[in-house]
Structure 1
Amino acid sequence: MPKVSYCSVFVDDQERALRFYRDVLGFALKHDVPMGPHRWLTLTAPGDPDGAQLLLEPDEHPAAKPFKAALVEDGIPLTAFEVDDVHGEVRRLVDEHGVTVVQPPSPAGPVTIAVVDDTCGNLIQLFSS
């Protein structure tokens, strides 16, 4: 049976993305391997070093930037991350890191969702049940 090993997030600046996903959201660095002008840059959820990896991939493919821009223009998050308490996490992100909240915590059926700007050209949804 297949399993999720990697999930790509196309970013316009790998170093800025690393700072956001590691230092702000709290993901743990797994691999940082130079690859020409870029890096194989992956992170895992805190406390889960053998879990699925988030790949911070350069958005240099010609389709990546227009795709990202269209999603942002329509307010559609690129991906979603589960958190224990979306209200508390959004407060922490704003108070400690000045993160831009695009959609404050809102009920959505059985979960509460919020959307934030990752500073690298993407909207990211956070949710908790």
Structure 2
Amino acid sequence: MTIGVSRCFVAATETEPALSFYRDLLELEVINDVANGEHRWITLAAPGQSDFSIVLSNYLADAPSDTEVLRGLLAKGALSAAHFRTDDLDGLFARLSQAGVEVLEQPTDQFWGVRDCAVRDPSGNVVRIDQA
């Protein structure tokens, strides 16, 4: 038996700003965009990477009180969205900075051997990007 990771869900308080961040700034490709009433699920993947995708979703929880708790956690930056990798960390970081993305950590050589940076997406999720 084998097992692999196929997708992860990323909470998006507003889908259009989240879509602009992941599609336009990180250059992920939209694979699917499904609306169901007021809810929307947008599947994106890195170009050429068909085995893993992220799903942006504005469906946060069933109960309104739970939705408010999650919105609060997002606003505080307490939730991590995903870790990405790029072959040009400094170039991507410059593009994100110029676009006004909130920077949490500039590109840094970490003591565990990875060079990465951290930013927040429009919903408040923490996104880390590693140098490939």
Is the shorter-chain TM-score for this pair beyond 0.5, marking a shared fold?
A: yes
The size of the alignment, in residue pairs, is 124
Matched residue, 2:96: 93
Contact 2:104 2:119 in 1 (8 A): yes
1:83 aligned to 79, 83, 86, which one? 86
**Is 105-114 or 57-66 further displaced after alignment?**
57-66
Structure 1 unaligned residues grouped into runs of 5+: none
Q: Which residue of 1 aligns with 2:46?
A: 45
**Percent identity for Structure 1 against Structure 2:** 32
- Normalising by structure 1, we get a TM-score of 0.83
Across the aligned residues of Structure 1 and Structure 2, the Cα RMSD in angstroms comes to: 1.9
Residues 19-77 of structure 1: CA deviation (Å, up to 9, x unaligned): 110011110000001112112210001222x221100022532153344345x25xx74
Q: Which residue is 1:127 aligned to?
A: 130
Q: How does 1:1-129 map to 2 (within 5 A)?
A: 1-48=2-49, 50-58=50-58, 60-61=60-61, 62=66, 64-69=70-75, 72=77, 77-95=80-98, 97-108=99-110, 109-129=112-132
Change (3 A) 1:25 1:112: same
